[in-house]
Amino acid sequence: MKYIKYIALAGLTSLSTSCVDDLLNRPATTEVSSDLFWKSTDDALTSTYGVYNATRTLFATEHYYDGHGEFQNTRGKSLGSISAWQPAGWITSGFSSMWNNAYRVINRANYTISYVERMIENEQNATIKSSLETINAENYFLRALAYFRLIENWGDVPYYRHVLNGDAEACSLVRTPIADIVKDLLDDLQYAAEKLPVKYGTDYGRATQVAALAFKGKIELYYACWNKFGWPELDGFTASTATADTYYKAAATDFKAVINNYGLTILGDGDPGTYESPTYGSLFQYYNENCSEIIYAISYGGPNLGQGESLLRDFGTRTTANAQCWIMPTSFLADRYQSTITGDFLPQLVMNKDANLENGARNRASYENRDWRMKSTIMWDGETYVGIENGGMELRSQYPAYTWMYGTYNQGAGFINNDASGRTGYIYRKWIRQEAGWDRTDGPQDFYLMRLADVYLMYAEAVNETNGPTDECVALLNKIRSRGNLPALAADKYADKEEFFKTIEQERIVELATEGHRPFDIRRWRKAHDVFGPAQSDGLTLYDTNGARVRDQFKNASELDFQKYYIYQIPEGERNRNPNLTQNTPWR
């Protein structure tokens, strides 16, 4: 799966159902005929790899999502799938490609499922039939991921489980209520969990029983949140506390099975490693991408295969393979890393050029004795790292963190080109390769869509909603915290449901930073006003470590701007093609 190999047309919805003959009645050389294909499990798997490939495209810019929260600043777009905050509001036209990419996965999966089901129906050999059912379950899983991405962004969406009969049918579809879609997705993931293996030996990257259960729990948890907190921007959706309670309990059941039934553990099982080499940091290097903490990831392989990732380009600087540093952490994230001594928050960092100022953002002493996950995630003034040159093929010596980030580091003038916009004074360490051998857009690092630490936190959230804090859930959070070298939670941090929820949110912020979860958490918990302030207020202003203003979020924003944050615009291009697609209320 690191190097997805498949016949190009086999995974496409345009694959011919009957060969196109030329004047000599020969099969066309540009198409794969269905009477020549779909003869073996290898054929079924070949087409399924095409679905995996589309899924990789769908989630290729997942790390950009955190730019829609308060902890990541986004300078621009890498692959054009996700747009950033602009003063005038949320610009979501860039999400049109994500809409299309999701339906590409769905169309390929529907096509593959339709043929594999015929093969299953006609197969007499029990072993081969079982193998085909497993392959089919992979397609059910991937299709569910694509539909989940659609509904968490757009709510009700066109929903179909068959191969469309051309443009006429595609342009006649209407939006299906989210409740109906969720029910089917949960059924599909339950089917997948029953048919998929626990693992594939060394064939990493394919859907497993554990992944199906984990994502089933995640959909249940999100649906519970939408019912508890409401989704007023979605026409026709009626929140129900009884439904929320049912789905919180269902999510807890599935997460508990993932945690207890498969012998999984987070990397290091809570061992922090050392400050210079934290266990958490090594989790995001390719040599640990197949450890038991990783439940499901988007697979990449490089170099020179056309299947590499662009994480280094997006997170790194000019001294790391001439990377572009499209995204960077903010001071708000730095402030979330707690004391390894008290286990609680430290005084807020002061944005100021003075490198000796107490609690100053440029004072290195301000970063001492903090959660070790900070060192694994961000770099601050004076940090050093190894540079990579010659297209990413050769290591060089240690460099200050800001050298050649946007110009030459100048200790006298400040951390870096202070008049340049969009710079926060911090850069990421997480996801930055520590080895040479790949260029900035052709790396081998898998991107994690689901890992066990996330399951711990979602399980604690689901249990907390129905039962309040439990010793089991507190222990799970302490295990996550311990790899940041933090002390166990103080009793007041889980004194009641409300306090424990704050603790869960805190751990999600620091544990899952850069992994694309924060904006979805803000939205499903209805916390946009808590984060960005009330309508028509000053909003949230980000300053760099020198105290210069970087950007405003929701400054003088109307209530309509907040409504648009909670649900995305149905792409107008799709509505032009299909007049049956209604528009979400805030975008009308």
Give the separation between CA 457 and CA 460, rounded to whole angstroms: 5
86-100, 299-313, 420-434: segment of lowest average pLDDT: 86-100
Strands (E), 433-534: 447-451
Percent of the chain exceeding pLDDT 70 equals: 87
pLDDT digits (tens, 9 = 90+) for 322-378: 888 888 999 999 999 999 999 999 999 999 989 899 999 999 999 999 999 999 999
201 against 449, higher pLDDT: 449
Under a CB-based contact definition with an 8 Å cutoff, are residues 218 and 450 in contact? yes
The pLDDT of residue 387 = 85
Give the separation between CA 133 and CA 113, rounded to whole angstroms: 10
pLDDT tier at 4, thresholds 50, 70, 90: low
Percent of the chain exceeding pLDDT 90 equals: 74
- Is residue 17 classed exposed, middle or buried when 0-12, 13-18 and 19+ CB atoms within 10 A define those classes? exposed
Give the separation between CA 253 and CA 335, rounded to whole angstroms: 34
Structure tokens, 88: 């005038």
Q: What is the mean pLDDT of residues 30-36?
A: 63
Per-residue pLDDT at 277 exceeds 90: yes
DSSP state at residue 471: H
37-41, 329-333, 423-427, 557-561: segment of lowest average pLDDT: 423-427
Give the separation between CA 292 and CA 262, rounded to whole angstroms: 9
pLDDT digits (tens, 9 = 90+) for 99-136: 999 999 999 999 999 999 999 999 999 999 999 999 99
The pLDDT of residue 2 = 57
Give the separation between CA 293 and CA 267, rounded to whole angstroms: 6
Q: What is the pTM of this model?
A: 0.92
pLDDT digits (tens, 9 = 90+) for 561-574: 999 999 999 999 99
Strands (E), 24-111: 72-74, 85-86, 89-90
pLDDT digits (tens, 9 = 90+) for 67-87: 899 999 987 543 333 444 443
DSSP three-state, residue 542: strand
DSSP state at residue 117: H
The pLDDT of residue 35 = 72
The pLDDT of residue 382 = 80
- Is residue 211 classed exposed, middle or buried when 0-12, 13-18 and 19+ CB atoms within 10 A define those classes? buried
Under a CB-based contact definition with an 8 Å cutoff, are residues 467 and 232 in contact? no
pLDDT tier at 95, thresholds 50, 70, 90: low
Per-residue pLDDT at 300 exceeds 90: yes
CB-CB neighbours of 546 under 10 Å: 19
DSSP three-state, residue 449: strand
DSSP state at residue 430: T
Under a CB-based contact definition with an 8 Å cutoff, are residues 33 and 78 in contact? no
Structure tokens, 541: 């202003």
Closest Cα to residue 327, out of 191, 423, 233?
A: 423
Which string of DSSP letters, residue by residue, matches 294-336? EEEEE--B-SSSSB-B-HHHHH--TTBTT----EEE-HHHHTT
Q: Return the residue matching tokens 């007499």.
A: 124
461 against 17, higher pLDDT: 461
The pLDDT of residue 1 = 54
Per-residue pLDDT at 214 exceeds 90: yes
pLDDT digits (tens, 9 = 90+) for 534-556: 999 999 999 989 898 988 999 99
pLDDT digits (tens, 9 = 90+) for 390-406: 889 999 878 776 654 44
199 against 201, higher pLDDT: 199
Q: What is the mean pLDDT of the chain?
A: 88
38-42, 264-268, 298-302: segment of lowest average pLDDT: 298-302
DSSP three-state, residue 414: strand
136-145, 382-391, 480-489: segment of lowest average pLDDT: 382-391
CB-CB neighbours of 188 under 10 Å: 20
CA-based torsion, 373, 379, 383, 388: positive or negative: positive
